[in-house]
Amino acid sequence: MDLRITLRSFALAAVSASGFGWPAQADFQLCNRMSYVVETAVGVDDGGVISTRGWFRIDPGQCRLLIQGQAPLEQLYVHARALPVYGASPLPQAGNADLCVGADTFAISDARNCRGAGQRLVRFSAVKPSENDKGVLTAYLAEEAEYADDQARDAAIQRLLTIAGYDATPIDGIRGAKTDAALALFLQDNKLGVTAAGRSDFFDILIAAAQKPEGTGFAWCNDTNHTIMAALGIEDRGIITTRGWYRVEPGKCVRPEIKAHLRRLYSYAEAIGDDGLPLRRGDKPFAWGGETILCTRDVKFELIDHKDCADRGLVATGFANIDLAGRAGTTVRLK
């Protein structure tokens, strides 16, 4: 679930990426003003050779130093991805260059060529940071809402509370009575003090709660040894919206972000191999679905029209019917 990111510099005098006198030795930091906890990778062009390194986690409302005293900085690139807990929420980012990343912590000296195990090409965006009053080059990850630091943190708390099954909507970065009530209930349920939301590890606590199989809301839990891609159908006021794909790693649970009042969902999931293609069990797809036919597509999607899927270049997919009525929480275990 990589992000469509807006990379901005909010300083009055932005420094051009082509070089209006970047310092020979420069630190570079990236600040997260999004409502998602992200992992980032940075690319550095040094004389036409691009190197990449990652992953660097950045919580909402925080900045992190990605490069310290490296010269020269002819061009910087950034790639950001949301943590798996968010499923398919963010869409893929647009960018300027396809560069290599690793599955875990990595440093790649020639990032145009993926040679190591687990390396793959992803889209990076060129950034034009500005120099702050401490001489640090700074760029921002931002959303259309243009959150300030505090608003980004509050919106991220709202989002994770909602995924964990607590109704903190709308996700707008505004701490109102509804958000305060959801937060108070979460703290009470998890036996946390009233000031816990200010702790540096509070996002870790929220993420852990959102990944638990038990609790309120809806969750997929992957009990296989394979990565699973899942899609969700949401029925609201007679209209079914399908969304996908949510990535569910082996041994993990994912709670898609849904409204608290919903009474019916539709679920489809399929196991994929290392090549990203669907797996089969014998002569059948390695999948979990049902009899309700709804439209999907192979890439990330959000669809509301489910007539004549094939004629419109979509895939007619059988979803399982999930009844939420009268249940505090529902977990689909994928075995």
Tell me the domain boundaries of the chain: 6-146, 150-210, 213-335
> Taking the chain, what is the end-to-end CA distance rounded to the nearest angstrom?
23
Digit-coded pLDDT (tens) for 82-126: 888 886 545 556 677 899 999 899 999 999 999 888 899 999 999
> 209: closest CA among 259, 162, 156, 154?
162
- Reported as half-sphere exposure (CB side, CA atoms, 13 A), residue 297 has a value of 13
Structure confidence at residue 18 as a pLDDT band (50, 70, 90): very low
Contacts of 242 (CB under 8 A, 6+ apart): 231, 232, 233, 234, 266, 294, 295, 296, 301, 302, 303, 304, 306, 319
CB 317 within 8 A of CB 260: no
Residue 25 pLDDT > 60: no
pTM metric for this prediction = 0.69
Supply the pLDDT for residue 116.
85
Supply the pLDDT for residue 10.
32
Residue 3 pLDDT > 80: no
Average pLDDT over residues 265-274: 93
Bridge partner residues of 246 (DSSP): 230
For residue 183, what is the enclosing H or E element?
A: helix 177-189
CB 13 within 8 A of CB 46: no
How far apart are alpha carbons 161 and 165 in whole angstroms? Answer: 6
Average pLDDT over residues 303-319: 95
Q: How far is CA 83 from CA 35, 273, 321, in A?
A: 12, 20, 27
How far apart are alpha carbons 7 and 5 in whole angstroms? Answer: 6
Give buried/exposed letters for 194-209 (b at 16+ CB in 10 A, else e): eeebeeeebbebbbeb
Dihedral class, residue 205 (left if φ above 0, else alpha if ψ from -120 to 50, else beta): alpha
Lowest-confidence range among 58-72, 268-282, 306-320? 58-72
Structure tokens at 132: 């702050």
Residue type, 275: D
Digit-coded pLDDT (tens) for 42-57: 999 888 889 999 999 9
Average pLDDT over residues 271-292: 92
Supply the pLDDT for residue 132.
81
Residue 147 pLDDT > 50: yes
CB 330 within 8 A of CB 268: no
Bridge partner residues of 228 (DSSP): 248, 271
Q: How many CB atoms lie within 10 A of CB 6?
A: 16
How far apart are alpha carbons 106 and 125 in whole angstroms? Answer: 19
Lowest-confidence range among 67-81, 106-120, 215-229? 67-81
What's the CA dihedral at 99, 314, 222, 209 to 10 degrees? 80
The bridge status of strand 239-248 relative to strand 49-58 is unpaired
Structure tokens at 64: 């992190």
Digit-coded pLDDT (tens) for 193-204: 989 999 999 999
Comparing 93 with 185, which gets the higher pLDDT? Answer: 185
User: How many helices (DSSP H) and strands (DSSP E) are in the chain?
Assistant: 3, 23
Q: How many CB atoms lie within 10 A of CB 218?
A: 24
Q: How many CB atoms lie within 10 A of CB 117?
A: 7
Supply the pLDDT for residue 8.
42
